[in-house]
């Protein structure tokens, strides 16, 4: 090994066993979150259209999907493992309200391993045993292996730019940040969800909620905090928060109720009119009608729990239904909830296994186990701290010597009247 390589190692960050174990645990938790508690043991076809699940597109079984999305098919996690192993699979992450296509006529010549089909049956009989096509399933370009407005695969070996991809919560396609037409891309921890420009234009009611968007930039001018919305039409709107209420901008700082009145005074056709029945006002629309921020173009980034501020009056619900976005009002639809389910399943499984294992031990054995674990942890910390202080590389022989020494100490620590059994 060259001296330069050794110097590079000496200057690099040192890791101990617990760092590696924690890193491994983080990877496992990330994987569990992505899978969201999806069933990896049984095909989900019989469950029906699942609210959200991990899905894969099989291009080996459906090669025509690359050119014709009507030929596309999606398979659940369990089928990707058992039925389509070693096939060309496209990982779709999650799709909502989807039913597994593996046992259906979408893949006519392939037998789903989770459904009984006579092994000696011909291709025609296999086809005959297939389930009907899931008519409610929807397929976007991701099923053919391409993403974004640039219609490129991911990962893309021909793309010289390393760019993050973000999923739109409505069309569920993935977009490069540089293709979102947004002047400001918030940091990951600054937003919860994103809606692409195409979906915003198609679901026009979203423009009324532009005031909730987080893709804003704050600047300071003459000691005043000026918030500029980067997604507004034409010139940017300035809200000088720290100036007196009688400032020249006071007429721009209006409440939602005032904004609604202004719009109605301008003959704005609001779909939500306040109605009265027997003198009681009902079905009041809570849509903000933000006159200060007019949407121009680009994706919109939304904060956590922004959906809770969507109006739920009858008129607005009718709009959601017409636009096929009723799921925006479903608190369990979000990716955050999906990932939390995966993490809960992972932790429950881990702790259930640990609890069952401990339940088979006697009280004395449990005490010995805990003491042994703490002793090993302390010894490992001492072992790695020594190498870290001296900036030395841990070798295989060092590890073997450590456990040999540890075993010797254990034997010496046993009293003469104890028996030691080596298994």
pLDDT at 124: 46
pLDDT at 262: 43
Measured CA distances, 272 to 106, 131, 187, 257, 264 (Å): 43, 44, 35, 13, 11
Contact (CB, 8 A) for 327 and 298: no
N residues, the chain:
423
pLDDT at 20: 59
pLDDT at 242: 42
pLDDT at 387: 76
Residue stretches of the chain with pLDDT short of 50: 1-12, 117-126, 217-227, 229-280, 291, 414-423
pLDDT at 340: 85
pLDDT at 420: 39
Pairing assessment for the beta strands 300-302 and 193-195 based on DSSP bridges: antiparallel
pLDDT at 293: 61
pLDDT at 404: 80
DSSP state of 308: G
Contact (CB, 8 A) for 210 and 295: yes
How far apart are the C-alpha atoms of 37 and 40, rounded to whole Å?
9
Query: What's the CA dihedral at 242, 243, 244, 250 to 10 degrees?
Result: -110
What phi-psi label fits residue 324: left (phi over 0), alpha (psi between -120 and 50 degrees) or beta? left
Measured CA distances, 165 to 51, 152, 176, 179, 335 (Å): 23, 12, 4, 10, 15
User: Which percentage of the chain shows pLDDT scores above 70?
Assistant: 63
pLDDT at 246: 36
**What share of residues in the chain are helix, strand, coil (percent, to 5)?**
40, 15, 45
How far apart are the C-alpha atoms of 68 and 63, rounded to whole Å?
9
* Coil/strand/helix, residue 67: coil
How far apart are the C-alpha atoms of 214 and 299, rounded to whole Å?
11
């Amino acid at each position: 090994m060259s001296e330069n390589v050794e110097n590079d190692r000496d200057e690099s960050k040192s890791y101990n066993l617990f760092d590696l174990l924690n890193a491994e645990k983080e990877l496992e938790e990330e994987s569990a979150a992505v899978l969201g508690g999806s069933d990896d043991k049984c095909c989900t076809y019989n469950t029906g259209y699942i609210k959200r699940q991990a899905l894969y597109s099989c291009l080996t079984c459906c090669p025509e999907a690359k050119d014709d999305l009507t030929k596309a098919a999606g398979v659940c996690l369990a089928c990707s493992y058992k039925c389509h192993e070693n096939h060309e699979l496209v990982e779709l992450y999650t799709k909502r309200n989807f039913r597994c296509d593996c046992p259906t006529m979408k893949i006519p010549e392939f037998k789903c391993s989770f459904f009984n089909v006579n092994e000696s049956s011909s291709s025609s009989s296999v086809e005959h045993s297939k389930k009907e096509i899931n008519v409610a399933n929807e397929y976007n370009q991701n099923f053919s292996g391409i993403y974004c407005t640039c219609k490129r695969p991911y990962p893309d070996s021909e793309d010289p730019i390393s760019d993050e991809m973000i999923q739109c919560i409505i069309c569920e396609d993935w977009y490069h940040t540089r293709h979102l037409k947004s002047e400001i891309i918030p940091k990951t921890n600054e937003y919860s969800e994103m809606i692409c420009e195409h979906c915003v234009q198609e679901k026009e009611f979203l423009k009324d909620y532009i005031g909730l968007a987080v893709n804003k930039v704050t600047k300071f001018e003459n000691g005043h905090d000026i918030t500029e919305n980067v997604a507004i039409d034409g010139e940017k709107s300035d809200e000088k928060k720290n100036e007196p209420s009688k400032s020249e901008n006071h007429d721009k700082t209006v409440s939602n109720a005032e904004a609604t009145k202004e719009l109605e005074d301008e003959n704005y056709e609001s779909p939500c009119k306040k109605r009265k029945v027997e003198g009681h006002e009902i079905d009041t629309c809570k849509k903000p009608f933000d006159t200060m921020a007019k949407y121009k173009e680009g994706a919109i980034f939304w904060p956590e729990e922004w959906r809770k501020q969507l109006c739920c009056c009858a008129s607005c619900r009718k709009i959601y239904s017409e636009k096929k976005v009723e799921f925006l009002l479903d608190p369990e639809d979000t990716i955050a909830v999906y990932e939390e389910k995966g993490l809960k399943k992972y932790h429950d499984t881990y702790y259930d296994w640990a609890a069952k294992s401990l339940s088979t031990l006697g009280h004395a054995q449990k005490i010995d186990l805990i003491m042994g674990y703490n002793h090993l942890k302390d010894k490992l910390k001492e072992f790695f701290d020594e190498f870290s202080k001296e900036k030395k590389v841990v070798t295989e022989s060092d590890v073997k010597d450590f456990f040999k020494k540890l075993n010797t100490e254990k034997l010496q620590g046993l009293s003469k009247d104890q028996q030691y059994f080596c298994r």
